[in-house]
Amino acid sequence: MARKRKKGRRRPETALSRRSFITAAGSGAAATVLLHVSPIVQGKTFNPDLIRPPGSLPEEEFLTKCVRCGECMKVCPTNAIHPTTLEAGLAGIWSPFLVTEVGYCEYNCTLCGQVCPTGAIEELTVEEKQQVHIGTAYLDRSRCLPFVFDTPCIVCEEHCPTPKKAIWFEEVTVRDREGNEKLLKQPHVDPELCIGCGICEVKCPINDPAAIRCTSGGETRNPANQFLLSTSPYG
Amino acid sequence: MVSIRRVSQIFFLTLFLVLFLMTTLVGENSTGPLATFFMDIDPLVLVTTFLASHSIQPGMLLALIVIALTLLLGRFFCSWVCPLGTVFNAVSALRGGKLAEKIRTGSWNRWQKGKYLLLIGLLAAALTGLHLAGIFDPIPLLYRTMATSIYPAFAWGADQLFTWLYLADPGIGPLRVTLISEPIYSLLRTYVLPIEPLAYEGGVLVGFFFALLAVLALVRFRFWCRYICPLGALLGWCAKTSRIELRNDPELCGDCNLCVPYCHGTRTCRENGRERNASSASTAASSARRARSVSSGGVSADPGR
C-alpha cells in the first residue's frame, strides 16, 4: 500500500490509508452514539448507587471531563471513592463513585476536588462543599433497631455531621412482649439537611446491609434527580 | 546513552510512585505537592479533554511543554519519561528466547498502526462528546491501576506476610527472622502502607486489565507501547517535525539486525520517522557501535521485511 506511491519519496510505513482513517474516526463517533443508548448516560434514569464525589459536575458534563485517573480514589482518606464498573453505564466505566458501605464523605474534606486534574470534580472551599448534597440517606424501618426490635440505638444521629443534625428523634412509647412499656428514640431523616455523606450508613450497627442507606437522590449536581417534596427547590 | 536513559526512566518512575504515595491526607485538609503533575504533562489528557468538554484546567497547559519538546526532539517521552513504558520495558526484559527470535518478533509489523487508529477513534469519540481516552491513556491507566489495584493488593499482601512472619517467628536459636522483618515492616508502615487496609469495588477488574497488558509485554517487547498506546501515537504525530533523528549509512551497514531487539518503536532509521523515538535512537546507536566492532559494518534498519 505504502510502497505503490510515487517513486523517490516513499510514504512512511506508519502512514494510514484514507479508508482506515475514516473507518477509525467513524468507529469513534459510532461508539459515542452506541454508548448513549444507555438510559443512565442519557440522563433518563438515575442509578441510586451512583453517588459522585462532592463538587462533581452534572453527569453529562462530568463524563466529558473525567479521565478515570483515580487520583480522587487514592486521596480519599476514608476509602469511600471507588471505580465504577457498569454503575454509570459503559460510557462511565472506571469513573469515581462513593460506596457508602465502605467509606463515607468526610465533612471537612475537599481533597478529591483538589486533586482532580481536569475539573470533573470542582475544587470547592470547605464551606461550599458542606452545602453540597451528594445524595440522601434513607431509613429502612424494617431493619432499624428502634423500629423493628424495640432496641435502643442512636448511632446514626450521633455521627451525623451537619450543624443542625439531619437525623432527628421521635420519642415513642412502645410495649414489649410481656406488655411492659418502653421509651424509645426512633430516628428520622430531614431530607433538606441531609447531604448524603453516608457516615450513618458506615456506622450503622446493622451491616447486611445497613438500616440507613444513601442513594444519589436529591444530589445537588443533577436538578432532575430530586424528589417532589414541599421542601424541594420545585416547591 | 542507554544508561543515561535508564537513569531517566528510573527517576520518573520513582517520582511517579513518590508523588502517588504523597497524594494522601496531610494535615487538616491538604495533600502532597504536585499531585496532578503526571496528568498535567500528559498531552492526550489535554487534547481529548479539550475536545470533549471545550474547557481545561490551567495546570493541564504543562502538556504543551511536552508537545513542544516532542516537536523538537521526537518521541522522547515514551522511553525517557513515561512510567508505564518503564514498567512494561522492565516486564519485557524478563523475556527469554534467542536473539534471532527477538529480531524476528521485534521487526516492523503493520499492526503497529493500530495505535494510530485507536487514537483517531478516541479523538473522534471525544469530539462527539464521549471521553474514553483515559481508559487507554498510559498515565491515567497506571495511576488508576496503582490506586485501586496494585497499592491495596500490595498493602494487603504485606500485612499478611509480616503478620505471618511475626506469628511464626522462624529462626535458629536467638537468630530470628523478625529481627529483620519487623524493622522492614515498620519502615513500610511509616512511608508506604496506608493507615487502614484499602478495598476497592471494581478494583479487581482494573487490575485484571493491567495484568493482561503485562502478559502481552512478555509476548512482544513493549507490546502496549508498540500496538495500543494512543499517547505514543499522538506523540508520534508530533515527532514528524523532529530535527533529531538516527540515520544509518547503507554503505557501512552489514545488515546484522542486532539493533532490532533494542528498538522500542521497531524500524528506527530511514523513512520511518513517526515510530522512531529518542530512546530507540540511543539504544540502536549503541548497538550499532557494538555491531561495528564485530563486523566493521554499519547497522541495518531494515530487518528484512
For residue B212, what is the enclosing H or E element? helix B203-219
| Predicted confidence (pLDDT) per residue in A86-113, tens digit | 999 999 999 999 999 999 999 999 999 9
What is the model's pLDDT at position B268?
47
Q: Which grid cell is B234?
A: 499522538
More reliable by pLDDT, A229 or B10: B10
pTM of the model: 0.89
**Is A58's pLDDT higher than 50?**
yes
Counting the structural domains of chain A, the total is: 1
Contact predicate A110/A124, CB 8 Å: yes
Residue A58 lies in a domain: yes
> Among A71, A107, A130, A202, which would you mutate to test the B interface (most chain B Cβ atoms within 10 Å of its Cβ)?
A71
ipTM of the complex: 0.90
CA of A173 vs chain B CAs: smallest distance (Å): 41
Residue A231 lies in a domain: no
Q: Which chain A positions have a beta carbon within 8 Å of B123's beta carbon?
A: 25, 28
Query: Is A36's CB within 8 Å of B130's CB?
Result: yes
Q: Which grid cell is B96?
A: 527469554
User: Mean pLDDT throughout B164-172?
Assistant: 89
Whether the CB of B40 is below 8 Å from some CB of chain A: the reply is yes
- Taking the C-alpha atoms of residue A66 and residue B68, their distance in angstroms, rounded to an integer, is 25
For residue B90, what is the enclosing H or E element? helix B83-92
Q: Which grid cell is B172?
A: 535458629
Q: Which chain A positions have a beta carbon within 8 Å of B199's beta carbon?
A: 79, 102
Query: Is A29's CB within 8 Å of B273's CB?
Result: no
Of the candidates A14, A32, A69, the beta carbon closest to that of B140 is on A69
The range of the structural domain enclosing residue A164 comes to 44-215
Tell me the pLDDT band of B175, cut-offs 50, 70 and 90: confident
Those of residues 115-154 in B touching chain A at CB distance below 8 A are: 116-118, 120-135, 137, 139-140, 143-148, 151
Q: Which chain B positions have a beta carbon within 8 Å of A8's beta carbon?
A: none
Residue A228 lies in a domain: no
CB pairs under 8 A between A and B: 196
* % pLDDT > 90, chain A: 84
Query: ∠ CA B3-B8-B10 to the nearest 5 degrees?
Result: 95
Query: ∠ CA B250-B254-B258 to the nearest 5 degrees?
Result: 110
Residue A178 lies in a domain: yes
CA of B282 vs chain A CAs: smallest distance (Å): 21
| Predicted confidence (pLDDT) per residue in A115-149, tens digit | 999 999 999 999 999 999 999 999 999 999 999 99
- Taking the C-alpha atoms of residue B138 and residue B82, their distance in angstroms, rounded to an integer, is 8
Contact predicate A195/A94, CB 8 Å: no
CA of A172 vs chain B CAs: smallest distance (Å): 39
Whether the CB of B53 is below 8 Å from some CB of chain A: the reply is yes
Contact predicate A111/A139, CB 8 Å: no
Q: Which of A5-9, A228-232, B55-59 has the lowest mean pLDDT?
A: A5-9
A96: preceding bond cis by omega (within 30 degrees): no
> Among A66, A98, A118, A126, which would you mutate to test the B interface (most chain B Cβ atoms within 10 Å of its Cβ)?
A118
Q: Which chain B positions have a beta carbon within 8 Å of A77's beta carbon?
A: 24-25
Measured in degrees and rounded to the nearest 5, phi and psi for residue A171 equal -85, 125
How far is Cα of residue A17 from the mean position of the Cα atoms in its chain? 44
More reliable by pLDDT, A6 or B103: B103
Give the CA distances from residue A191 to residues A55, A121, A216, A231, in Å, rounded to whole numbers and listed in that order.
Answer: 19, 23, 12, 8
- Taking the C-alpha atoms of residue B13 and residue B79, their distance in angstroms, rounded to an integer, is 11
Query: Is B45's CB within 8 Å of A67's CB?
Result: yes
For residue B175, what is the enclosing H or E element? strand B175-176
What DSSP state is assigned to residue A136?
A: E
Query: Is B125's CB within 8 Å of A114's CB?
Result: no
Query: Is A28's CB within 8 Å of B128's CB?
Result: yes
Residue A22 lies in a domain: no
Whether the CB of B206 is below 8 Å from some CB of chain A: the reply is yes
| Predicted confidence (pLDDT) per residue in B24-38, tens digit | 999 999 998 999 999
Residue A224 lies in a domain: no
Sign of the torsion formed by the C-alpha atoms of B266, B270, B273 and B278: positive
Contact predicate B212/B264, CB 8 Å: no
Q: Which chain B positions have a beta carbon within 8 Å of A119's beta carbon?
A: 55-57
> What does the mean pLDDT of chain B come to?
85
Provide the 10 A C-beta neighbour count for residue A115.
Answer: 23
Give the CA distances from residue A166 to residues A146, A148, A188, B175, in Å, rounded to whole numbers and listed in that order.
Answer: 18, 21, 8, 58
- Which residue in A24, A32, A137 sits closest to A89, CA to CA? A32
- Taking the C-alpha atoms of residue A205 and residue A187, their distance in angstroms, rounded to an integer, is 14
Give the CA distances from residue B258 to residues A78, A158, B106, B222, B266, in Å, rounded to whole numbers and listed in that order.
Answer: 52, 71, 11, 18, 12
What is the model's pLDDT at position B299?
33
Residue A23 lies in a domain: no
CA atoms within 13 A on the CB side of B186: 6
**Is A200's pLDDT higher than 50?**
yes
Of the candidates B40, B120, B148, the beta carbon closest to that of A73 is on B148
For residue A98, what is the enclosing H or E element? strand A96-98
Report which residue type is found at A187.
P
Residue A61 lies in a domain: yes
